Structure 1
Amino acid sequence: MKLQLLYNEYINIKFKRGLQSVQTDCFEYSLLEDDSAELFFVNRNNESFIEWMYELQPRDANYTMNPDWEPELLAFFEHLDVYDELILYYLLFTINKTMSIVKINPFNAMNDFMKNYCFFQLAQLTDAARLTDEQRHQLRDFFFFFYLYTHPVNEETLYSFSFSGQDLVHTKTNINMEHYFSIYHDYYSENLDKYRDKLFIAPHEIDACRNLTMELLRSIEGKAPKLSMPPEEGLEVVLQLINDVDYLLHIYSENKTTLFGIIRDFLSDNRSNSYRDHCFSTLLQNYVSYILYFKFDEIYDLVDYFKSTPLWCKMIINKIFTDAIFIQKIMKQNQIDIAEYKHVIEFFDEEARRIYLK
C-alpha cells in the first residue's frame, strides 16, 4: 500500500483540484450523495474501507451492571476486558476514518482541519532533526491528543493511549496497537464463516484493510516514510516549508523575516483556491506548533513585521487563533494570559475576542 499516492488522491478530491485520479492498490474514492467521499474496494461500490467493521463494534459494557461476556480476542490478550475492547475498537475506527472526506459545515470545519493537520504532522516528526528528542516527544503527544480530540472520541478513549518509544500502546494493558490490529484482522479473516451474518467481504479484502490500517498507524507512530503535500504551481516555497520542518526551523533561526516575507508574498498573490488556502492555514499553524509552542513571545516579531499592513496583520493573527485551537492549548500549558499581549489582541476580530477574551 503506497500511502502517499492515496494521500495525494485524498487531497485531490477533498480540495476539488480536478487532477487525473491515480489508481491505488486496492481502494478508490467514491463520492456519496451528501458530497462526502469514502474509500471503496476497487471495482466494488457496495463495501467501503470504513464500513467493513461496523457490525463488529463490541457491546458497550458501560450500560450493563455486570457484563457477562468476554472480549473477542481474550485468548490472545489475557489482560483485555470488555471496557478496553470497546476503546480499542474506537481507536481502530478513528484511524480508519482518517482518509474519509466529510462534507464541511461551520460546525465541523475546525475539527476536520485539525485532525487532518495532526495526522500530517505526526508523519513528519521523526525526520525533524532540528528538534531535540524531548521536543519531538512533546509535539507527538500534543498532535496525537488533538488527532483524537477532534475526531472526536469520548474522554475515556482520549486518555487511554501513550507512546512507548515509537510504539503506540494501550496504557492500562500495555497492549501494542500494531500487534493488536494485526491479530484483530487475522482473527476475523481466519474465522470468517463464524461471522458470515456480519461480514460480507473476503479474506483478501480484510488483508487489504489491514494493510491500509497499518500504514495509517505507522504514519501516526512516525515509522513510515513521511507524507508530503502534493505540488501546485505558485506554492513551491510554501510547500517546501510545510513538507520539511527542518527547513522551516532553519530559515527561521537564520533570519525570521525570511518566513514572514514568504507569508507576505503569498498574500500579495491574489490567486485563491481551497488547496492554496489550506496550505496557507497549515503554514501558519506550523508557525504555532514549531515556533510559538516553544517560545510564545516570538509572536511579537510577527506583529511587528506586519503591523504596517494592518489588514494583513489582522488576517494572519485571526487565522492563527481561530483556524485551530492549538494556540489555546499552548497558552493554557504555559499559563499565558493573552490579555497581556496588547499588541496582539488589538488585531483580534469578533470571533477571536469571543473565544479568548471572555
Structure 2
Amino acid sequence: MKLQLLFHEYLNIKFNRGLPSVQTCGFEYGVLEDERAALFFVDRNDQAFVEWAYDLQPGDPQYAASPDWKPVLADTFKQLDVYDEQILYYLLFTINSTTSIVRSSPYNAMNDLMKNYCFFQLSQLNGVSRLSDEQKLQLRDFFLFFYLYAHPVNEETLYAFSFHGQDLVHTKTGIHIEPYFSAYHDYYIEHFDKHRDQLTIAPHEIAACKNLTIELLRSIEGKSTKLVLPPEEGFEAALRLINDVDEMLHMYSENKSTVFDIMRDTLAGTRSIPYRDHCFSILLQNYVNYVLYFEFDEIHHLVDYFRGTPAWCKTILNKIFADTIFLQKIMRQNRIDIADYGSVIEFFDEEARRIYL
C-alpha cells in the first residue's frame, strides 16, 4: 500500500475537498451518518479497519485481584505480562485509529489537530538535515508524547514507549513494536479457527490489516518516505515550507521576514476553506516546533513584524498559543514565564489568557 495515497484520501474526506475518491489496496473510506468517516474493506461496509480487533481486547488486569491468564504472545515474548499486553493493545488501537476521521467539535478540535500533526511530523523528522541528531531526538520524543496524549491514551500507555534509534520500543520490556505487531497479526491468522467467534474478518483481511498497521508504524518511526500535504492553488509557498522543513529553516536563517511574508500572504489570501485553514495551522505549528522550541525569544521577531497589522498579529499569536498546547509544554520545559513577554500578552484573546495567565 502507498501510505501517501491513503493520506491524501484522508485529507480529501476530512476537509471536504471534493476530489474523486480512490481505493487503496483493498481499503476505501466510508462516510458515516454522524459526520465521522472510517476506513473500510472494499465492498464490506460492515467492517472498519480500526474495529477489526475490538473483540480481541485483553481483560483489564487492574480489575482482577490476581490475573489468572497469560498474554496471547507469552510464548514468543517471555518478558510480557498481562499489563504490558493491554498497553500494547492500546497502542495498536491508537495507531490504527490515525486513519479515522472524527466529527470536529470545540471539545476535540485541539486533540485532533495535535495527534494528526504529530503523526505527520514524525514521518518527516528523520529527513530534516538542518537539525542536529540531538535536536531530532528531542522532537521525536516530543511528537510521540503528544501523538499518544492527544488520542488520548491512559497514563500508563502515555509513558510506556520510547525510541531506540528509529525503533519504537515498549520501554519496560524492551519489546520492539514492529515484530510484536507482526507476530500479533500472524497469531490470529494461524489460529483463526480457535478465535473465529471473536473475529469478523478472514485471514487474508487480517494480513491486509497487518500490512497497513506496519506501514503506519514505520511512518511514525521515520522509516518510510515522508508524507507530504497535497497541493492547493494559491498555497504553493506555504506548502513548500510545510513539506520541506529544511527549506523553512534555511529561509528563516537567511531572512526571517521571508517566512513571515509567507505567513502574511497565507493569512491574507482567498476566503477561508477547511483545507487551507488546516495548512495555515500546520505552518504556524511548524514555526512553534522547529523555531520556538529551540529559541523561544524568536517570538519577538514575529511580533515586531506583525505589530503594524494588529488584527493579523492577534490571529497568528492566538493560533500559535491556543490551537495546541505545544507551547505550553515547551515553556514549562524551559521554565519560561510568559509574564516576561508583555508584547506577546497584549495580543492574547480570552482563550489564550485562560491557558497561560
Q: TM-score range by the shorter chain?
A: over 0.9
Q: What does the per-residue CA deviation read over 1:260-291, in whole Å, with 9 as the maximum and x for residues that have no partner?
A: 01111112213220000000000000000000
Q: Which residue of 2 aligns with 1:281?
A: 281
Q: Which moved more, 1:206-215 or 1:264-273?
A: 264-273
The residue correspondences of 1:267-306 to structure 2 (distance < 5 A) are 267-306=267-306
Q: Under a length normalisation based on structure 1, what TM-score does the superposition of the two structures give?
A: 0.99
Q: Which residue of 1 aligns with 2:115?
A: 115
Q: What does the per-residue CA deviation read over 1:292-346, in whole Å, with 9 as the maximum and x for residues that have no partner?
A: 0000000000000000100000010000011000000000000000011000000
2:137 counterpart letter in structure 1: H
Q: Which residue of 2 aligns with 1:51?
A: 51
Distance 2:106 2:185 in 1: 36
Q: Which residue of 2 aligns with 1:199?
A: 199
Q: Which residue of 2 aligns with 1:41?
A: 41
Distance 1:57 1:355 in 2: 36
Q: What does the per-residue CA deviation read over 1:19-66, in whole Å, with 9 as the maximum and x for residues that have no partner?
A: 011221110000111110000001111111011100000000011111
Q: Which residue of 2 aligns with 1:136?
A: 136
The residue correspondences of 1:309-328 to structure 2 (distance < 5 A) are 309-328=309-328
Distance 1:203 1:197 in 2: 13
Distance 1:132 1:39 in 2: 37
Distance 1:79 1:119 in 2: 29
Alpha-carbon offset, residue 5 of structure 1: 0.4
After the TM superposition, which parts of structure 1 deviate over 6 Å for at least 4 consecutive aligned residues? none
Alpha-carbon offset, residue 131 of structure 1: 0.6
Percent of aligned pairs sharing the same letter? 70
Q: Gapped runs of 5+ residues in structure 1?
A: none
Distance 1:75 1:26 in 2: 32
1:22 counterpart letter in structure 2: V
1:24 has 2:24 as partner: yes
Alpha-carbon offset, residue 200 of structure 1: 1.7
The residue correspondences of 1:76-155 to structure 2 (distance < 5 A) are 76-155=76-155
| 8 Å contact from structure 2 (residues 267, 280) kept in 1 | no
Q: Gapped runs of 5+ residues in structure 2?
A: none
- Report the 3-state secondary structure (helix = DSSP H, G, I; strand = E; otherwise coil) of the residue aligned with 1:163: strand
Q: Which residue of 2 aligns with 1:64?
A: 64
Q: Which residue of 2 aligns with 1:176?
A: 176
1:117 counterpart letter in structure 2: Y
1:160 has 2:130 as partner: no
1:91 counterpart letter in structure 2: L
Q: Which residue of 1 aligns with 2:73?
A: 73
- Report the 3-state secondary structure (helix = DSSP H, G, I; strand = E; otherwise coil) of the residue aligned with 2:111: helix
Distance 2:170 2:270 in 1: 48
Distance 1:25 1:300 in 2: 48
1:333 has 2:315 as partner: no
Distance 2:105 2:200 in 1: 33
1:183 counterpart letter in structure 2: A
1:219 counterpart letter in structure 2: S
1:299 counterpart letter in structure 2: I
Distance 1:145 1:340 in 2: 27
Q: What does the per-residue CA deviation read over 1:203-237, in whole Å, with 9 as the maximum and x for residues that have no partner?
A: 11001000000000000000000000011101111
Distance 2:201 2:115 in 1: 29
| 8 Å contact from structure 2 (residues 292, 299) kept in 1 | yes
1:43 counterpart letter in structure 2: D
Distance 2:272 2:151 in 1: 28
| 8 Å contact from structure 2 (residues 38, 100) kept in 1 | yes
Distance 1:141 1:343 in 2: 31
